[in-house]
Every structure is written in structure tokens, then in C-alpha cells.
Chains A and B, each alone.
Chain A
């Protein structure tokens, strides 16, 4: 008799069936007493008050296939750097409109670093003569704010994008989609961390006048460049793609250099553009983020799927979006990261979590790939055992193991990919995010780097919305 002809998958002809248990330990002990192979789950009750929604969503007949489809699309997406354009051309961004990281927010509730970045962007666009004027105009509601995510874009930290800024354009060939991200300004006092002094605005002008056109020429003449493949390689070179991008940045530079050097620009400008790009360890972050954005976009909008397609913070709120619930945000107050501080800064100087960069964790790298980057613990705190445990714990809340992103020390196991709202609610395990820390006060800049999780309440809220759609 063939395997398929036997009822219950041949359960009754199994030699000595092995058993998984959840609940009373006594029963697992009784099985061990019979020398039966037992795997006990360390079961704990789900997040409070979620039983009915869990049962509803798990019983949704569409869910298994919807999640399989979402996951397959997510991992099948490609990400090639195909163009560099100004935001007004790339996104049709209108003068007076500013994009920002995270879920929607107004000036009233915006945190220090986001306000600082808005001020800097207003000055950069020449919409005000000084910071006081800019702040007054912003508070008066003169300008329009919109999340980057609403335009298929992502921005690290404050994520503020204005029409004149240049953006990388990445394309997913399989799903015919584009995603965009601003250019990285380097570390220290930079707009994305809320600084808006003259050196910040001057740098933005130089990036617009010199760096952007050179990068555009490079990509258009020698591109496209396969960013997903760089991601796969850098994970095997000690990067996790969120807070450690050293190998990725060098590999990217290697691709860009020939086209930069032959660009139509003065040799002084080219030399400065190359020096600037090479000096920045996070140069690659602004490519890794839109690559993950393309992956999560491909997984978005599948009815019945409980896969998380966005995690993003604006410095006040942390928001998630889920494949099966469309464009609705589920938010909670952003946590403040814990980690290591630069110079004299301490925990009191840190702003709550900010930035679209958690798209890396949403896409299966960053904190989820910590085991690939044990050196990261020198930067964000913790120890190496923690890094290994962090990645392995994330398998409990994800749908699969990434076919391309692998962790050598875990025997080349794929990174945990595709956060499942249901698994987060059931286990109470929250996604592990590696992040930079912005100063609480507008204009400060970066104060440290560390580890953070989303506020738990985003997930039961998303689950409830999934339950109403069953």
C-alpha cells in the first residue's frame, strides 16, 4: 500500500509515533517513561484577551495559502539599483510637502529629532530664512507631512525627504515595482538624527549639487547593480544590514566607483564624492532598506495573510501594517532603545525609537540576522550569546527561513523571515530591532545605538483587524 492510500498519513502503521506536547508537563514525563520520543513546547498563554481573535484568524481557511503566497512573493522579489533621481522627479513630490519616517503624525505630536529634521529640510529647500521662521511655519501647518511608506519609499531615522533631495531607485523585476530611499549623509550631526545647523544644510546642498548627479551618472552608465546579492554576501561577512553595513558599503562602492570616476564632473568633485562615500560605514543602509521595502511590498495586500509588511517609527509612535489588512496602521507608543552611548550622552538624552529602518527586520535581516554579525554587540550592547539567541528566537515568530540570506554560524540556516502577527501574539515574543538612537532635543544628532522592540499592543490590534476580515 502506498503512503497516500493510508488514512491519517499512515499514523497507525508508524513504528513508535513521536509526540509533541503543549501544556501539562506530567503527560510529557509519562511519555518519556515509555521511552517515547517527546518534544515539549515551552507553551505560555498568548497576549491577554486575544483567544477569540486568535481562534478566528487561525481558522481562516485562506490564511495558510495567503501566508505561503505572501512569503513566496517576499523572498522571490529582486532588488536592483537602477536609477538615482531627485524626489520631485522620482516620487512627484510637490514643493511644500515633506515625507517622514513611520506612521502619520502632525507637528504637535512630533518628537525633537523629527521636528529638527523638518526644520533642516525647510531651510534646505529655501522655504524659510532661519530656524525660528521655519519652526513657526511648520507649527502653523503651512506644509504637508506624509509617511515615506505612503509613496513606496523609506527613510532612515527621521526619514525626512524634500523634493530637491536625491534618491536611490531600486526595482523589483519580478513584481515590476520601484522603491526609493534618500542618500546617506554619514554619521554625527546629520539631518536624519534631527540636526539642522549650517553644516547639515550645507552638506545637503553639496549632496544635491555634486554627489547626486555623479551617482546618477554612475548608475545609469554602469548599472543596474544587484543589491539583494550584496545583502546575501554581506551577511556572510559580519554585517546584519541594519546597524552594521561595513562590508556592504565597500561592495557597493566597488560597483559604483568605475562609473563615478568616469562621470562628467570635475576631478575635485569626483574625488570628494568618492571620499565621502567611502568614509561612511552606513553608506549601504540606504540601499538595503529599499531592497527590503520591495520584498515587503511584494507580500502586501494579500487577503487573509497575517504577515507583517511594515514596521516603522516616527519618534513618537511605532506602527505596523499587515498584508491582509491593507494600508491600515496599528500603532503604539514607541519604546526607547537600550544600548551604548556616544561620548557623554546617557539614557536621558535618547529619543524614543525612530525611523523606517525597521524595514530590514521586517524583511528578515537587521536584528533578525544578529547571529551573522556577532561584532554588532560592540556597537549595540549585549554579548555574542545574545546575538545567537536573538536570531534563533525570531524563528518562533516568522513564517520561513530566507532562501538567500544565510547565517554561516547557524550552519547556513536562512534568516528568520516574514513576521507572523499570529505567532507574535501567541508567544509574546516581540521582533528584535537593532537601531541608532537620536537625541531627544531637536538639533542634537545621534547619541548612541542599541536594541529595541515594538510596543506589544500593535500586534493584538492588527490581529483584531484580521479577525473582522475573516
Chain B
């Protein structure tokens, strides 16, 4: 008979990533069967209820719930104590005699540190306020938060233009300014290429390929995934292009984007033509080059050799064309998913997705379909109330297991993004999931790894861990996708 403890702490706020780590710490305590330390958001209350915890009435998103179930009361007490310890370790140190308290708002932090950039990753519904605050304080903003409305995005970008600062985002995963890597970012060498990115993982893929080719970047300015859509009209892209054009360290520019709207792209192309330095485009879309091919064109234009992209191909996989099931692409990076989907659609035809190429290809809310499927686990719809899958891979791990049990799944295509901000040991967990998935059935698994040797996790180390689990690993997302397609051949 196990014992349950649930308590509610009003007004005790911690961010979701921190609480994820605290929950894991508590769950690891001897005798603890289940533990969840979370803010009482609608989603978390649902999760807690699903775990069999009764959340007290009246709990709101500003209240912290500590829920522990364990074998006996001692274990519960140990679990709660572990939660306390982990939470107090995460809290800002309280000031000593006469010390000023920690700044409480983004602008206060900007003023206290004389910061040029504000990195904002608060939950989406609070993000507009913090971004306005930062703009008002004269700082450029990297807005990692997603679930920000397009109206607010336009308003923020107009306010930023008036203040001559840049809004990178919303939903901006990566940026690199003056050698400072912000958000999810790989350790790459510096060089003459400036990057403007309406795509986080797309930019990371390009930077990693450039790094593998021996070329570096000056800056990578994120602009948010919707910047090249008509509603936003390239507001941040224009500012970023102008800033890079005026930067002496930048000699050419690459713009990387999820599929843009045509007229915005055309406007930007004519704007870029007057900047006095080459501007090249890696903008995804049907009939356009994939990320790797676009990057190869940049290398050629720069007079640089195109290397053979690193790969670790598994042996023991089925022969080309011999697999009868469908493609299942499970991605954390939205642009990597788009890139793979566009490429795969050329030979496979229709692919169902939560970020579909056409509206009629949209997956239902259960994200299930018998045919070819590509899912972006980092999409807004799947990150409400939870951390990005590059930090919290739970949902994707569950799906990998589900695909392994599904006979209609013929080949698994996965991505894995390394670098700052990402999971510290993503390969270990993923390798285990791959081994489990391949248990008792023939299932080729292909992983596109976006990373560099300089990343804390290490490209080769990561690839070898995955390869040892029987996966084929590619640095190029294009090459990974093509490899996955070879198994399906004409059978699809």
C-alpha cells in the first residue's frame, strides 16, 4: 500500500525546465514510485490527475504543486525533502545584510547588467510584456517563447524598429551575436558568413554543415519562424540584413527560412540586391533546394570545396527497397522536419503531418495515420505547458515505442540536435529507445544529427553511441532522409 503526498504552494514560481529537473530528482529517490513538481497549469493538473494525484481545488498557474507517491511515509518524506532541497538550490540566493534584491523584470535585469541583449523564455502568454519591457530598455531581444500571437509579433517588431533594436523571434531557437551563442546553439568557428534565420534548427543545420566544411559565421540573427510570412512581411529580416551588411566582419549573407510567402521573399530579394554584398537564400519550399543542397551552392559560390558530409551507416539493415511499411519521421526541429518532408514527398507523395505541406494532409489530434507521417514535436501545439522536446524528449520517446509496435511503420527517421541548451546526454536515452524499438523486429532507424565536434556532447561521440544501437547517422539532414527513403524503394 503506497502513501501519497500532495501540497500546494501559492505564489511559488519556478520555470518548467527547472521543475522538470526537480521532478526527476525526486523520482530518483529510493522508494518513490511517482513524483511530479509542477506549476498548476491546466495541462499539469491533467497530468497530475492522470498520475492519480488529487490536486487541491482552486490551484492556479501561479501555484506550485509538490506531489509524491512512495512505498511508505519515510520514502514520501525523503521525496518531499529532496524536492525542497532541489527547489532551494534553484532559487536565487537571498541578499545578505543590505544587499539589493535580484532584479524582477527583464528591464531591471538589463539595467543592472548593462545588457545589450535580452533572452526571454517565459511562458508565451507573458512574453509580449517582457519583450516590450526589453525594447523599452533599449536592448535587442531573443524571444525564445512561443505561443505569441502574430498581431503581437508585428506590434513588437514595429516597436523594435522605432527603437532601432532587433526582435529575434518569437519562437526563435537559436542566435549567435558577437560569438555569444544564445538559446540552442552549436559551437562553431567564426568566419565571414552572416546568417539570418527564420528557422532555428535550419540555421543550426547550416552552421554545422559550414563548420564541417571549414567555414565559420560572423553572426546568426534569428528572426522568428513567421517573419517571412505575409502577416509579418519580413520586418526583422530587413533589419537583420541591414545590420549584417554594415558589419565589417561579414562578407556574405545566407538567409535560411521555413517555406516563405512568395511576395515577401520577392520583396526581400530586391531589398537585398541593393545591400552591396552577396545575399544567398536557403528558403525551403516545393521545387526549391533542400538545406544541404542550398548550403553546397553557397560553398561553391564562395569558392570553397564541398566536403563529403560525415556519416555512420549501420550494417545489418534490410536491403534497399525491401521494406513494405511507411516512413515515420519523428522530429524535434521544425525546419528539419520540413526539409525531410519536402524531400521525401518528391518520391513518396502525400505525407501526413502536424505541420503539413498542404492543409488536407493535416494529422488529427491523435497524430496517427497508417501512411507516411512526419511529426514536429517542437510545434506550438505540442509545447503548450511543457518544455521543448530538445529539453524534454518524453513525448517523442513514447512515440518511438509506439511506432516500433506498429506494423505499418517501415522506417524511422529521427533528428537529434546537439549544442548549448540541448539535453546534456541526448544520445544515451535515444540509443536505448532505438535498441528497444529494434527488439524483435526488423526496423531501420536513421538519425540526422545536427552538431559539431566542439559541442559539449560531441558529434562523433554522439554518432557512435547511436550507431552502436544499430542506427545510421548523418550530419546532413538531406542525406539522412535519402538514406531512409532507400529502404522503402518502389514498395511505397
Q: Interface on A for B, CB 8 Å cutoff?
A: 6-9, 11-28, 30-31, 33-34, 36-46, 48, 51, 54-55, 58-59, 64, 384-385, 388-389, 392-393, 395-396, 409, 423, 426-429
12 contacts between A and B (CB under 8 A): A7-B243, A19-B119, A19-B180, A21-B119, A22-B106, A24-B144, A27-B144, A34-B420, A36-B180, A44-B11, A395-B108, A426-B105
Instruction: Decide yes or no whether B110 CB sits under 8 A from chain A.
Output: yes
Contact A392 B129 (CB under 8 A): no
Given A18-B113, A426-B104, 20 new contacts (CB under 8 A): A7-B239, A7-B242, A11-B140, A12-B247, A12-B249, A14-B116, A16-B180, A18-B114, A19-B117, A19-B182, A20-B112, A23-B120, A25-B17, A33-B420, A42-B102, A58-B129, A58-B136, A396-B103, A426-B129, A428-B11
Complex formed: what's the CA distance from A24 to B420 in Å? 13
Q: How far is the CA of A26 from the CA of B243 in the complex (A)?
A: 29
Asked whether A26 lies within 8 Å of B182 as measured between CB atoms, the reply is: no
Given contact pairs A20-B118, A22-B130, A40 touches B92 in the complex (Cβ within 8 A): yes
Contact yes or no, A41 B108, CB < 8 A: yes
Q: Is the CB of A42 within 8 A of B103?
A: yes
Q: Is the beta-carbon distance between A19 and B118 smaller than 8 angstroms?
A: yes
**Chain B residues positioned under 8 Å from A385 (CB to CB):** 97-98
Q: Which chain A residues border B421 with CB–CB below 8 Å?
A: 26-27, 30
**Nearest opposing residue in chain A for B106, CB measure:** A22
Q: Which residue, A6, A9, A15, A38, has most C-beta atoms of chain B within 10 A? A: A9
Q: Assess whether B128 is interfacial by the CB under 8 Å rule.
A: yes
Give the Cβ gap from A393 to chain B, nearest Cβ, in Å. Answer: 5
Is A392 within 8 A of B101, CB to CB?
A: yes
A356–chain B nearest beta-carbon distance, Å: 29
* Most chain A beta-carbon neighbours within 10 Å: one of B103, B104, B118, B243: B104
- A20 touches which one: B95, B110, B128 (CB < 8 A)? B110
**For the complex of A and B, 10 pairs with smallest distance between CB atoms:** A39-B113, A23-B121, A20-B109, A41-B109, A20-B115, A30-B420, A42-B102, A17-B116, A7-B243, A23-B122
Cross-chain contact of A41 among B97, B103, B129, B247 (Cβ < 8 A): B103
B61 at the binding interface (Cβ < 8 Å): yes
B223 within 8 A of A: no
A388: contacting residue among B92, B98, B118, CB under 8 A: B98
Contact B246 A6 (CB under 8 A): yes
Interface size on B, residues (CB 8 A): 79
Say yes or no: is B132 at the interface (Cβ < 8 Å to chain A): yes
Candidates B101, B115, B387; contact of A39 at CB < 8 Å: B115
Residue of B nearest to A37 (CB): B113
Is the Cβ of A43 less than 8 Å from the Cβ of B106?
A: yes
Determine the distance from Cα of A17 to Cα of B95 in the docked complex, in whole angstroms.
Answer: 27
- In the complex, whether B244 has a CB less than 8 A from a CB of chain A is yes
- Residues from chain A with a CB closer than 8 A to the CB of B112 are 20, 39
In the complex, which residues of chain A have a beta carbon less than 8 angstroms from the beta carbon of B1?
none
B437 to nearest A CB, angstroms? Answer: 28
Chain A neighbourhood of B239, CB < 8 A: 7-8
Give, as a whole number of angstroms, the nearest-CB distance from A382 to chain B.
14
Q: Does B309 contact A (CB under 8 A)?
A: no
Q: A9-B138, A25-B90 are in contact. Are A41 and B106 (CB under 8 A)?
A: yes
B140 and A8 within 8 A (CB): yes
For A20, the chain B residues whose CB sits under 8 A away are 106, 109-110, 112-113, 115, 117-119, 134, 139
Q: Is the CB of B105 within 8 A of A26?
A: no
Contact across chains for A43 and B104 when beta carbons are under 8 A apart? yes
Does B164 sit at the interface, judged by CB under 8 A? yes
Q: Please name the residue on chain A nearest to B101 by beta carbon.
A: A393
> A31–B182 contact, CB under 8 A?
yes
Q: Which residue on chain A has the smallest CB distance to residue B133?
A: A58
For residue B139, give the distance in angstroms from its CB to the closest CB of chain A.
Answer: 7
Closest CB of chain B to A286's CB: distance in Å? Answer: 32
What's the minimum C-beta distance from B490 to chain A, rounded to whole angstroms?
46
Name the residue in A9, A24, A30, A44 with the highest tally of chain B Cβ atoms < 10 Å from its Cβ: A24
CB distance from B85 to the nearest CB of A (A): 16
Residue in B11, B103, B116, B132 whose CB lies within 8 Å of A59: B132
The verdict on B60 contacting chain A, using a C-beta distance below 8 Å, is yes
What's the least CB distance linking B45 to chain A, in Å?
Answer: 15
CB atoms of A23 and B144 under 8 A apart:
yes
CB pair A19 B115 closer than 8 Å: yes
Residue of B nearest to A25 (CB): B18
* Interface status of B62 (Cβ within 8 A of chain A): yes
Contact A9 B164, beta carbon cutoff 8 Å: yes
**In the bound complex, how far is the Cα of B311 from the Cα of A249, in angstroms?**
83
> Nearest chain B CB to A351's CB is how many angstroms away?
27
Q: Is B166 an interface residue (CB 8 A)?
A: yes
Per-position 1/0 for B7-25, Cβ under 8 A of A: 0000101011110000000
Is B219's beta carbon under 8 Å from chain A? yes
